[in-house]
Structure 1
Amino acid sequence: MPPAALAIHLSIGQAYAWSVFKTPLEKALGISGTASALPFQLGILVLGLSAAFGGTLVERKGPRWAMFVSLVTFSSGFLVAALGVATRQYWLAVVGYGLIGGIGLGIGYIAPVSTLMKWFPDRPGMASGIAIMGFGGGALIASPWSSQMLTAFGSTTNGIATAFVIHGVVYAVFMSLGVLLVRVPPPGWRPAGWTPSRAAVRKLVTIADVSAGNAVKTPQFWLLWVVLCMNVTAGIGILEKASPMIQDFFRGTPTPVTATAAAGFVALLSLANMSGRFVWSSVSDLAGRKNVYRFYLGFGAILYAAILLAGNSSTALFVVAAMLILSFYGGGFATLPAYLKDLFGTFQVGAIHGRLLTAWSVAGVLGPAIVDAIADAQKRAGHAGPSLYSLSFYIMISLLVVGFVANELIRPVHPRFHEPTAAADSAGGAGAAEPKDPSAEVPIESAVN
């Protein structure tokens, strides 16, 4: 299952490398920077919406169906985008990559997560970290690969279109591995020596189940929505503008940051984003989900304050603080499914996860809008250096505090929201609520091997 999940997430994680195509598209088609960002922004928006509306369908039809839908839509999105660039119809590129490809992002993002947690019910944080780690690491593969293709084929419309076609075909082949490998655990599956009743020793961990329809009626769902939105907004604000931000911060100082060094900084942030997804979500299995989010939000606010206080006096402090913030950004995504499992059980955790990802859609627009708008306004006012970002950083600190408070307010879900048969389903094992799927029709030994 881990290779199956990574085959999907390493592919759709290409979205974080969209910036490689921004400048070439602007020059080749004569469009603005705002226009060149549209495919990415629409893709993230549709990711959250498709995950929300498709989550229940994913639970009903199973992970293999969902991964196949993700393969078809994500890959065909590249092909439609290639046609749009080749014919200089940029709206086709936006529709292809942003709308069609965005559906592949959303369905593919949630497809392996709940299934992987059912294979590892004793370590759900580690399981979701394995799955979602690939999304953060996809850019480490896609960014240099895309750059090499643009160098080989040229940054013309034909060169960009050719690169898009190759992306679509190669990702289709790679994602098919996930479709072929994925397995649903047989009914009654559980790790040797592990029982759900013994696992539920923390206050927020339940062995009951809550349906997706009931979950959205609980305060816990909306408090977690706020937590995710605040954490993502604070992280994506740096991620989206990382290269110009570090150059602006240290321009005119004895230690200016070159464009090459800024590109290295972006790579470090991608690495922190990826590693944080596995490390912090695994830590949550030991420390508890609520405690780990306290760390993300509370220490994240302190790191933003440290950057503000230090200003442009220390490049090392800026880099280390930004990497930690991005590790919390990634960790927040990876820990979320396990937090949902703790609160709502495994019954429809994929569908609940999909609905909660609408917070990502909002944050994907909110974070860049705050940082870009304030920086542009400060430049027009004649400011430079750290002052371009001071106000936006104060806003990020405030948002993290709001998220911290929301996390503190989370309590166990009231029993009136539990499914009547939840106890029986849980006693039957993590896979009891999984729909019948042909991929599950294998002996347990074969499934594990």
Structure 2
Amino acid sequence: MSNTGTNSGAASAEAGGETGTNRWLLVAAALLLQFSIGAVYAWSVFSKALQDASAFELSSVEAAIPFEVTIGMIFIGTYIGGRIQDRRGPRVVAMAGGVIYGLGVLLAGFAESKDDFWLVVLGYGVISGFGLGVAYIVPIAMLQKWFPDKRGLITGLAVGGFGFGAVLTSPVANWLIDRDPDIPTKAFIPLGIAYLVMSLIGASLFKNPPEGYTVAGHEAVGGSGADAATRDYTQGEALRTPQWYLLTAILTLNVAAGISLISQAAASATDIAGYSAAGAATLVGALAIFNGAGRIVWAAASDRIGRMRAFAAMLALSGLCLIAIPHAESAVLFALLAAVIYLCYGGAFGTMPATAGDYFGVRHAGAIYGLMLIGWSIGGVAGPLLASALIGEDEAYTTAYTVIGVVAVAAVALTFLTKVPKGREAEAVDARG
């Protein structure tokens, strides 16, 4: 048994051939897990309900705390989960992460008033955020090993499920909240149970490919040929390269640019383009689809045009659309610009796992990319804070989005500085088809 946690019961390797439908079953299992933990992006539904509920009546700042804590905790979970997954295999880690996530949501459901709000912060924020991170990294690392021939597309699908989680959860959460709007936290109890069931079913199917596993037209993982000629970095070795820090910076800045609008989407739609409150809420729900789709579209595109070209396009488009959106008084134009920003925000999460695999190999992908997701936490906290500070009470959207947009466009320069480590060039050529 190798130290990558390979499951000896996995389908036997076939020289130059795929293992039938087994690996696609793993994609379905990964999507089931990602749908459940991706529900975290439906927090805006609960944020509004907690501000309106007579038992809570939170301010907008207070209502944002659980989500901010969740995003901050994700990195801790991905770091720990990634390291354990590389040693123990994907199944046990994914199941543990799903259980922790579901139990955290359940705990939040026991808060019945503002005096109990700390249970929401602890349950939904600290515990669920940690469990989310532990579970999130596993299918990304696992599927890259099963799909060396479709690395960008498959990681895009894996994290695309996460992006679509909020789309699926939002209407269900609204329905549950409407049953007792005075105590909206009661909705967390059935949701937590559902998340537990979905996570455990999906994670129970997880396994790594066997040693010598191959697919048609691609050499064996850990075997001979092209992959043996390239080098798989350990986490420590990756951290000693400038590439790891450049890739993390690219991820951080892409996240910060996109989430600066995401955190202010409803208010921006109302104040800039004149949407009604209901119309803005509908728009935000529709935009979540682009967040999920971007993870698949950009990841697949990066397989054809190259990873850095894809990131250059994402950063440039995000920046230019942010600069333009304060002037989009037309509802249609605002929606189009916002959709592009959401696409590019999601695209970073679909493309970066494959990029890390190209640059450092997939043997230790869980630990390397898990640590790289510190960019998610930094960008996820810094972007909304910077946007809200610059917008202020004067609703200075032009200043806020112009500053953040210029930073995103300037960040394109990083994509020209980021080169594949020596000895990994063959993987970069594969990524361009």
Q: What letter is aligned with 1:20? A: V
Q: Deviations over 1:91-118 (max 9, x none)?
A: 1211111111011110111011111111
Contact 2:272 2:329 in 1 (8 A): no
Contact 1:9 1:131 in 2 (8 A): yes
**Aligned counterpart in structure 2 of residue 169 of structure 1, from 193, 196, 205:** 193
- Deviation, 1:259, is 1.7
* 2:130 is equivalent to residue 103 of structure 1: yes
- Deviation, 1:393, is 1.2
Percent of aligned pairs with the same amino acid: 35
**Aligned counterpart in structure 1 of residue 297 of structure 2, from 279, 298, 321:** 279
Q: What letter is aligned with 1:111? A: V
Q: Deviations over 1:73-106 (max 9, x none)?
A: 1111012112233694211211111111011110
Q: Distance in 1 between matches of 2:106 and 2:113?
A: 11
1:322 aligned counterpart, secondary structure: helix
Equivalent positions of 1:281-296 (< 5 A) are 281-296=299-314
* 2:360 is equivalent to residue 344 of structure 1: yes
The aligned counterpart of 1:392 is 400
The aligned counterpart of 1:441 is none
The aligned counterpart of 2:253 is 230
The aligned counterpart of 1:443 is none
The aligned counterpart of 2:27 is 2
Q: Distance in 2 between matches of 1:199 and 1:144?
A: 48
Equivalent positions of 1:231-270 (< 5 A) are 231-250=254-273, 256-270=274-288
The aligned counterpart of 1:82 is 109
- Aligned-residue RMSD, C-alpha: 2.1
Q: Distance in 2 between matches of 1:378 and 1:86?
A: 32
Task: Kindly report structure 1 stretches of 4+ aligned residues shifted beyond 4 Å.
Answer: 196-200
Q: Deviations over 1:306-356 (max 9, x none)?
A: 335xx1443222211110111011011110000001100112111111111
Q: Deviations over 1:386-440 (max 9, x none)?
A: xx2111112222221342111211112246xx9xxxx9xx9xxxxxxxxxxxxxx
* 2:110 is equivalent to residue 94 of structure 1: no
- Deviation, 1:198, is 8.1
* 2:232 is equivalent to residue 209 of structure 1: yes
2:411 aligned counterpart, secondary structure: helix
The aligned counterpart of 1:323 is 339
The aligned counterpart of 2:79 is 52
- Deviation, 1:262, is 1.1
Q: Distance in 1 between matches of 2:185 and 2:282?
A: 27
1:378 aligned counterpart, secondary structure: coil
* 2:28 is equivalent to residue 12 of structure 1: no
Q: Distance in 2 between matches of 1:199 and 1:283?
A: 23
Contact 2:30 2:203 in 1 (8 A): no
2:421 aligned counterpart, secondary structure: coil
The aligned counterpart of 1:353 is 369
Q: Deviations over 1:183-229 (max 9, x none)?
A: 221111111232279878xxxxx831110111112110111111011
Q: Distance in 1 between matches of 2:74 and 2:165?
A: 16
Q: 1:242 to 1:346 in 2, by over 3 A?
A: same
The aligned counterpart of 1:190 is 214
The aligned counterpart of 1:137 is 164
Q: Distance in 1 between matches of 2:166 and 2:329?
A: 30
Q: Distance in 1 between matches of 2:251 and 2:410?
A: 11
1:156 aligned counterpart, secondary structure: coil
Q: Distance in 1 between matches of 2:337 and 2:225?
A: 39
* 2:298 is equivalent to residue 298 of structure 1: no
Q: Distance in 2 between matches of 1:41 and 1:130?
A: 25
Normalising by structure 2, we get a TM-score of 0.87
Contact 1:129 1:279 in 2 (8 A): yes
Q: Distance in 2 between matches of 1:312 and 1:272?
A: 19
Q: Distance in 1 between matches of 2:262 and 2:226?
A: 37
Q: Distance in 1 between matches of 2:114 and 2:411?
A: 45
Normalising by structure 1, we get a TM-score of 0.84
Q: 1:120 to 1:211 in 2, by over 3 A?
A: same
2:132 aligned counterpart, secondary structure: helix
Per chain length, whose mean CA-contact separation is higher, i.e. which structure has more relative contact order (CA < 8 Å, sep 6+)?
1
- Deviation, 1:24, is 2.3
The aligned counterpart of 1:375 is 391
State the aligned residue count.
396
Contact 2:320 2:409 in 1 (8 A): no
The aligned counterpart of 1:405 is 413
1:222 aligned counterpart, secondary structure: helix
Q: Deviations over 1:152-181 (max 9, x none)?
A: 2x1123xx3431111111111111111222
Q: What letter is aligned with 1:164? A: F
The aligned counterpart of 2:17 is none
**Please, which runs of 5 or more residues in structure 2 have no aligned partner?**
1-25, 428-433
Q: Distance in 2 between matches of 1:367 and 1:346?
A: 30
Contact 2:257 2:319 in 1 (8 A): no
Contact 2:260 2:387 in 1 (8 A): yes
1:83 aligned counterpart, secondary structure: coil
The aligned counterpart of 1:363 is 379
Q: What letter is aligned with 1:405? A: A
Q: 1:72 to 1:86 in 2, by over 3 A?
A: farther
Q: Distance in 1 between matches of 2:209 and 2:236?
A: 24
Q: 1:178 to 1:86 in 2, by over 3 A?
A: farther
